[in-house]
Chains A and B, each alone.
Chain A
Amino acid sequence: MEFKEKVLQVIAEVCEDDVVKEEQDLDIFEAGLLDSFATVELIVQFEEQLGINVPITEFDRDTWNTPNAIIDRLNELK
């Protein structure tokens, strides 16, 4: 599986909604799909499934707000 698809899969699992795979510019915080608790879950899953370490304090809601933005940020951290 491609990296991008893997990331989308993880986000969809945590958000419990496949809409993030379709609408990749959706603001997942504004849409109410992700709260601070789910954010932590997402960070844990990135570490476990993708092996990428995202510090909690790095996860800024302004720059990690859409599936596409998350993919970009993860690519930077890879």
Chain B
Amino acid sequence: MTPYSSFLFFIILGILLLPTMILGIMGKHLRYYNVFVSIAVLALIFSGGDEGFYSLVIFTILQLVLIKSYISYRQKKNSSLVFYLMSLLSIMPLILSKILPFLAVDNWASFLGISYLTFRAVQIIIETRDGLIKQQLSIYQLVNFMLFYPTISSGPIDRFRRFQKDEEKRWTPEEYKELLYKGINKIFLGFLYKFIIGYAINTYFIMDLDHIADGRFSYHLLYMYSYSLYLFFDFAGYTLFAVGVSYIMGIRSPENFNMPFISRNIKDFWNRWHMSLSFWFRDYVFMRFVFLMKKKKWIQNKMLVSNLGYILLFLLMGVWHGLAIQYIVYGAYHALMMTAFNYFETWNKKHKRWPTGKTMTIVSIVITFHVVCFGFYLFSGRPFQ
């Protein structure tokens, strides 16, 4: 059963979470009962047969072995080669799941949520390398973090140390009531976003575009706007469910959206759209790449280093979505937009030609909105059909 896709799922989840809420309001520890809820919901999600239950199990065991052996290794030694090898092994299932469909064989490596779960695992390896995770982690801690069901299918991507703090915390009744209130609020806002607004845009506009548009150009233009809005409401709605349920479980999962359509430039946009993913790439790819280049003094030119970093980040982000042409083009498009903006920002810092003020802010927002929507139009795959 796909998470959050049917009312039956919500009803079952609501019944399972009732004891959690009662325990929380009484100020009791949530973790023991929550383990039971997690197993029950995971069984519900993965029992359908199409979600790749066995691949998930093998994947989890592989990641556990990798993480636990790397932490043991890191307590004694710290070779870069071992770190890169472990990271590669950790993302190997994800790479396989993206490549296998092209080899015309069964995609046995894939399962629901593999793209997101991989990021949770690799991140632990990276933080171990950085010396932020020193103690060996228990199987319970790792499995609980990796298979945290509210965010299993499409994120948000939490960070291990942050997650752990919430997980160990015993909320007071007042704190828990606040979490519960916020969680329920988010879930209902999610209904509005996904099942009302998103559904309406798709059903009454996008699927009816043949009658609404009066030509090829207007068809594609209207498709671009409506698909962008649909994508936002659908994904933001899902995220509200995922974060809302997390809150009820006593875990404050990070947010994914912060009003992305009022971004003033493309850089601003990536701080507002799918934030847990873009921050992941920022912290674990872009910043590490820039750090390496500076530290080793391989490239001196600032502009070149940052632009190469952006290109690396967005191409990776593109193929992470999938190896289809639209995702690669989408990644390349955003790489191009970011490097172009990087040049512009540096130039403008010196010359101060771009006027400031209320009107110009609105102009910037409108321009960014169109740049972004065109990106989603590419992402949708419609131009390549």
Contacts and interface: CB of A to CB of B under 8 A. Distances in A.
A40 B294 contact: yes
Nearest to B286: A36
Interface in B101-143: 126-127, 130-132
A58 B132 CA distance: 7
Interface string A33-50: 001110111011000000
Given A36-B282, A36-B287, A39-B287, A58 B294 contact: no
Nearest to A37: B306
B33 interface: no
Interface residues of A, number: 12
Contact of A37 (B126, B127, B309): B309
Interface in A13-47: 35-37, 39-41, 43-44
A51 interface: no
A39 B282 CA distance: 11
A56 interface: yes
Contact of B295 (A35, A36, A44, A58): A44
Contacts of A43: 291
A44 B291 CA distance: 7
For chain B, the bracket of interface size reads 20 to 34
Contacts of B286: 36
B169 interface: no
A60 to B, nearest CB: 9
Nearest to A40: B290
Nearest to A62: B162
A25 B281 CA distance: 28
B267 interface: yes
Q: Which of A37, A39, A57, A58 has the most CB of B within 10 A?
A: A57
B288 interface: yes
Given A55-B131, A57-B130, A40 B287 contact: yes
A44 B305 CA distance: 14
B351 to A, nearest CB: 15
Contacts of A58: 130, 132
B283 interface: yes
Given A35-B267, A40-B294, A44-B291, A56 B283 contact: yes
A36 B338 CA distance: 13
Contacts of A55: 130-132
B84 to A, nearest CB: 16
Contacts of A40: 287, 290-291, 294
Contacts of A57: 126-127, 130, 132, 283-284
Interface in B304-322: 305-306, 309
A26 to B, nearest CB: 19
B127 A44 contact: no
Interface in B251-297: 267, 282-284, 286-288, 290-291, 294-295
Contact of B288 (A37, A41, A44, A56): A56
9 contacts: A35-B267, A36-B287, A40-B290, A55-B130, A55-B131, A55-B132, A56-B130, A57-B127, A57-B283
Given A41-B294, A57-B283, 16 more contacts: A35-B267, A37-B305, A40-B290, A40-B291, A40-B294, A43-B291, A44-B291, A44-B295, A55-B130, A55-B132, A56-B283, A56-B288, A56-B291, A57-B127, A57-B284, A58-B132
Interface of A: 35-37, 39-41, 43-44, 55-58
Closest 3 A/B residue pairs (Cβ): A55-B130, A40-B290, A37-B306
